[in-house]
Amino acid sequence: MTDHDYDHPSEPERAFRRKTTPDDRLSALPDDILLYILSFSRTTDAARTSVLSTRWRYLFVRLPDVDLTFSGAYMCNFMDKGPTLCCHARNKRDMLLCKSIKFINFANRVIMLRKGAPIRKFKLRLASVIPGNSVTIDSLIFAALSCTLQEVDIFIYSDKNWKLARAGLFSCKTLVTLKVIGGEVDLVLPDSVYLPNLKALHLLELAPVDAQSITRLINACPLLEELELGVESHNLSKRLLTRAVDLSSPSLKKLILSGRLAGCPYVIESKNLEYLEYRARQTQQISLDAPNVKYLIYSSLDSINLIQNLKSLVEAKIRVHCSSYPTERGFSLNDLHAFVNGLESVKSLYLYHSSLQALYLCRELLPTFKNLTDLSLDPSNDLFLTNYDHTCLWKVLPSLLKNAPNLEVLIFDQVFRNSFSASEKFECVLPEAIPICSVHHLKEMEIKKFDGEEHEFELVRYFLKNGISLTKMTLCGVVKPSSECCRRILSFWKCSEDCQILFKELDSNRI
> Which mean pLDDT values do the consecutive 10-residue runs of the chain (511 residues) have?
44 51 66 82 81 78 86 49 50 72 85 88 78 73 88 78 69 92 73 92 77 86 93 52 78 88 76 90 75 91 79 92 63 84 94 86 89 90 57 83 94 73 65 87 92 87 93 83 82 92 71 40
Longest CA–CA separation in the chain, Å: 93
Q: What is the pLDDT of residue 344?
A: 93
> Within the chain, how many helices (H) and strands (E) appear?
15, 20
pLDDT of residue 235: 47
| Secondary structure of residue 504 in the 3-state scheme | strand
pLDDT value, residue 178: 94
Partners of 376 in the β-ladder:
350, 411
Amino acid at 363: R
Phi, psi of 136 (to 5 degrees): -70, -30
Residue type, 507: D
Contact 183, 156 (CB under 8 A): yes
**Confidence (pLDDT) at 79:** 42
Q: Tell me the C-alpha distance between 46 and 51, whole Å.
A: 11
Residue 177: strand pairing partners = 151, 200
Please, is 450 exposed, middle or buried when counting C-beta atoms within 10 Å of its C-beta (0-12, 13-18, 19+)?
Answer: buried
Please tell me the pTM assigned to this model.
0.81
> What pLDDT does residue 400 have?
92
Q: Distance of CA 93 to CAs 103, 124, 182, 296, Å? A: 15, 21, 21, 46
Strands (DSSP E) contained in 197-310 are 200-208, 226-231, 245-246, 254-260, 266-269, 275-281, 286-289, 295-299, 304-306
Please state, in angstroms and rounded to a whole number, the distance separating the CA atoms of residues 164 and 201. 14
**65 DSSP β-pair partners:** 121
- Give pLDDT, residue 251: 94
Alpha helices in 352-495 (DSSP H): 353-361, 392-402, 426-433, 436-440, 454-466, 484-490
Q: What is the pLDDT of residue 422?
A: 53
The amino acid sitting at 244 is A
Q: What is the pLDDT of residue 380?
A: 72
Exposed, middle or buried, 291 (CB in 10 Å: 0-12/13-18/19+)? middle
* CA–CA distance, 137 with 155 (Å, rounded to integer): 12
447/507 Cα distance (integer angstroms): 11
- The DSSP code for 59 is G
